[in-house]
């Protein structure tokens, strides 16, 4: 146990103060999305800005470097040593950019994002390009600064901000294999889907309308069954569904339409996956970086595990269909069998918009962006060439054209206009990790599918709590995956998941 005035305890005390600010920032952000009236925006932005400045000043104070060095020489147990390693990583990443550079970066990002919001609807790539060139130039400069401080290649240094330990040299061959697999698989999935639809007499329409209060009751019942702790979280409504708050007070949102109930329910199930991860983190380490979730890929893997591996499985719907009838009324899916509902839940379709894509086509949207943003950061692709690069890949991967259609092509996402380079791989890595975790879980717990048929999720959650949630940020992303499943990232598990679901 470190002495009361040891360097480790100084870092712990700082962590408690930073955690308090994080708590306030998070709750202000949730309130802005869910409750805040429009007139509160200006003062809210001022408050958030001041808190962000206070946090950064405290988290990058020069004396922290001395505390970290001194703590590394103190008698610490394994978890305390891991806490210092992770705190050092965070501190290096926060201090490797100068204040002058960050101010310049904020201006470029704000100009770019504001212009994107104005010009996307007008499909005006030409007007947006100068600001985009500015934000890419800043991103390349950031990548070089981070690369120098971290001893990494520039793009790896950018990925490190979202998924510590991930490297392009490891990800690229996995994505290349997946890309080749999907280009052959998707036409097969389409053909199989059409055969199933023909056998059922087509896609049955949902018996709308579905009252919102009944949809909410259904969602809450599913959340409870999945293990969400309502003593430490709640469900609200927002324009865009999200999971926020803090581990002891998780705030989830969804949105409803009376025309159908599946999009809201699946959104709730997805966000519940995020919420379960947050609620399962080790509370005794919440004031250290080591106690927080391990990056975007693992966070996405936990939401996709619940949505894709559980919530879109036939076994889940064997249990959930009676629940739908109970909460939405017998007429909601009157005369339906499980095969009719699965035709909706498992629909395969190609489209230009990433956020509307199904799980078979979605990875190709991500791989396209990964390849382009990597080229932008490395300087092998120029900003002005992005539309043609996008069109070429969209044509090759999904057989669709985006020529002269910028709003549905390279202007559709906010990530690049806001300066987030290195983020996109997390989406598909999360799906692949989820499939790999499920394969490992089934080896350890062969009755997992029977559990889902009966609405039992305790053992499934217990396995993930032991393998992922309780480990928090003790290990890098690749290390955590190996410890949880016994192997490195293996795309074959995701391929097998898709074959089983869409070709069986």
Give 350-402 as a 3 state SS string. Answer: CCCCHHHCCCCCHHHHHHHHHHHHHHHHHCCCCHHHHHHHHHHHHHHHHCCCC
Rounded CA separation 16/455 (Å): 38
Q: Which two tokens stand for residue 457?
A: 């999720």
281 vs 232: CA distance, rounded Å? 13
Q: Tell me the C-alpha distance between 147 and 145, whole Å.
A: 5
Question: Are 373 and 366 in contact, with CB atoms under 8 Å apart?
Answer: no
Whole-number Å distance between alpha carbons of 116 and 413: 9
Residue 421 region by backbone torsions, left for phi larger than 0, else alpha for psi between -120 and 50, else beta: beta
In the set 86, 142, 160, 271, the catalytic residue is: 271
Q: Where are the alpha helices (DSSP H) in 60-211?
A: 63-71, 78-95, 99-119, 125-150, 154-159, 168-199
H or E stretch covering 245: strand 243-246
Q: Is 253 helix (H, G, I), strand (E, B) or coil?
A: strand
Strand-pair category, 233-237 with 249-254: parallel
Question: Residue 33: how many CB atoms within 10 A of its CB?
Answer: 16
Task: Note if 260 is an active site residue.
Answer: no
Please list, in sequence order, all residues whose beta carbon lies within 8 angstroms of the beta carbon of residue 497, skipping any fewer than 6 positions away: 308, 309, 435, 438, 439
Tokens of 226: 């999945």
Looking at the annotation, which residues are catalytic?
Answer: 271
């Amino acid at each position: 146990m470190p002495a009361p005035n040891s360097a480790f305890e100084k870092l712990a005390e700082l962590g408690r103060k930073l955690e308090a600010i994080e708590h306030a920032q998070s709750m202000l952000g949730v309130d802005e999305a869910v409750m805040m009236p429009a007139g509160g925006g200006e003062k809210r932005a001022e408050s958030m800005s001041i808190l962000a400045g206070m946090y950064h000043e405290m988290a990058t104070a020069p004396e922290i470097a001395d505390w970290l060095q001194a703590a590394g020489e103190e008698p610490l147990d394994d978890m305390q040593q891991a806490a210092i390693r992770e705190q050092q990583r965070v501190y290096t990443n926060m201090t490797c950019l100068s204040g002058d550079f960050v101010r310049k970066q904020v201006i470029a990002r704000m100009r770019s994002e504001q212009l994107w919001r104005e010009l996307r609807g007008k499909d005006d790539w030409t007007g947006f390009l100068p600001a985009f060139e500015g934000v890419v130039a800043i991103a390349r400069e950031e990548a070089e600064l981070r690369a120098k401080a971290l001893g990494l290649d520039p793009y790896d240094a950018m990925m490190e901000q979202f998924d510590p330990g991930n490297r392009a040299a490891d990800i690229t061959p996995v994505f290349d294999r997946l890309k080749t697999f999907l280009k052959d698989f998707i036409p097969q999935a389409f053909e199989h889907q059409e055969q199933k639809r023909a056998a059922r007499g087509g896609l049955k329409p949902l018996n709308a309308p579905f009252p919102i209060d009944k949809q909410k009751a259904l969602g809450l019942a599913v959340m409870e069954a999945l293990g969400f702790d309502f003593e430490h979280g709640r469900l609200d409504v927002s324009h865009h569904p999200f999971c926020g708050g803090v581990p002891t007070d998780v705030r989830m949102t969804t949105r409803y339409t009376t025309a159908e109930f599946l999009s809201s329910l699946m959104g709730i199930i997805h966000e519940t996956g995020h919420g379960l991860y947050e609620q399962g983190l080790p509370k005794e380490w919440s004031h250290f970086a080591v106690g927080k979730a391990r990056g975007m890929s693992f966070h996405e893997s936990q939401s996709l595990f619940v949505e894709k591996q559980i919530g879109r499985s036939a076994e889940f719907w064997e249990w959930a269909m009676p629940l739908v009838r109970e909460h939405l009324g017998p007429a909601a899916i009157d005369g339906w069998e499980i095969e009719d509902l699965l035709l909706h839940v498992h629909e395969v379709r190609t489209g230009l918009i990433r956020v509307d894509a199904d799980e078979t086509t979605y990875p190709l949207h991500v791989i396209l962006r990964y390849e382009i943003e990597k080229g932008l950061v490395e300087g092998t692709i120029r900003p002005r060439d992005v539309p043609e690069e996008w069109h070429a890949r969209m044509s090759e991967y999904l057989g669709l054209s985006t020529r002269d259609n910028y709003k549905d092509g390279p202007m559709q996402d906010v990530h690049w206009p806001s300066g987030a380079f290195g983020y996109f791989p997390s989406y598909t890595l999360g799906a692949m990790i989820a499939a790999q975790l499920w394969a490992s879980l089934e080896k350890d717990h062969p009755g997992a599918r029977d559990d889902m048929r009966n609405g039992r999720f305790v053992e499934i959650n217990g396995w993930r709590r032991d393998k992922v949630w309780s480990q928090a940020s003790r290990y890098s992303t690749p290390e955590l995956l190996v410890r949880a499943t016994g192997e490195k990232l293996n795309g074959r598990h995701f391929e097998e998941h898709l074959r089983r679901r869409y070709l069986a």
